Structure 1
Amino acid sequence: MGNCADKFGNDKNEGDHPVNFGGGNVQLVTTKEGWDEKLSEASRVGKIVVANFSATWCGPCRIIAPLYSELSEKHPSLMFLTVDVDELTEFSSSWDIRATPTFFFLRDGKQIDKLVGANKPELQKKIVTFSDSVAHSN
């Protein structure tokens, strides 16, 4: 349940096997433009965005990735995104990411909640709460 690192680039293990951060209905964001497009799309269709700022070398990120993917399939009323903090360093810095994973919950592009760390029960609780709120507003 701990945080992976204080800043980007720590503790890289180049020999680690890649982990699939884009499974299920999770969409990988690789550009700032892609991020903007996804947020616009979510606003248009009335979805809350769950954005996972993560890193391939981060142990807790790897541990929570399968759950995040599973939750994306169970809660199609939400949009699940993953941002690799190493691929989009400047963009991640603009969100003041101090540890990975960090999850943001956004409505109409504005932050409505945040979770730092790989806290599985808390992540599930927040996702269920937001999924229910979207279901009841439609």
Structure 2
Amino acid sequence: MGSCVSKNKARDNDSDHNVDFAAGNVKLITTKEAWDQYLEEARRDGKIVIADFSAAWCGPCKMIAPYYCELFEKYTSMMFLVVDVDELTDFSTSWDIKATPTFFFFKDGQQLDKLVGANKPELQKKIVAINDSLPEYKQ
């Protein structure tokens, strides 16, 4: 899923997702509880959430992962999440994921937008548009 993703769970070093970075990193979601917790935290902090529903075996997901990390580093006032559709099958099904990667954009727990596919220009365009619509309190 890319080297900037950290697993907020027990440290089992067998997992290639288990890379720790400083606070505010791209977070790998492995439970519905973690999803709810991060969305609530973002709502409380007034942050936009970008959620990448992807899979470890998905070629396009691997291709866009480093770019997703770059966006995270550039847009620090947003929260970037990664949901592994294989680890959270039922949850992913509830979001009607037809292809990976699928990106969702949330504000205050409400879905603002969605993008299906590893489309870098479109992903950046949507993030820039959402970022530009935010008040100027950005960090």
Normalized against structure 2, the TM-score is what?
A: 0.81
Report the equivalent of 1:118: 118
Q: Percent identity, aligned pairs only?
A: 65
Tell me whether 1:59 sits opposite 2:42 in the alignment: no
The higher relative CO (CA closer than 8 Å, separation ≥ 6) is in 1
Give the distance between the partners of 2:98 and 2:3, measured in 1 at CA.
22
Deviation at 1:131, TM superposition (A): 1.9
Quick check: 19-28 or 79-88, which moved more?
A: 19-28
Q: Give the gaps of 5 or more residues in structure 1.
A: 1-17
Correspondence for 2:3 among 20, 26, 50: 20
> Which 4+ stretches in 1 moved above 4 angstroms?
none
Matches within 5 A, 1:19-98: 19-20=2-3, 22=5, 25-98=25-98
Deviation at 1:137, TM superposition (A): 6.4
Give the distance between the partners of 1:83 and 1:53, measured in 2 at CA.
5
Q: Is the 8 A contact 2:72 2:78 kept in 1?
A: yes
Q: Is the 8 A contact 1:50 1:80 kept in 2?
A: yes
Deviation at 1:130, TM superposition (A): 1.5
Normalized against structure 1, the TM-score is what?
A: 0.82
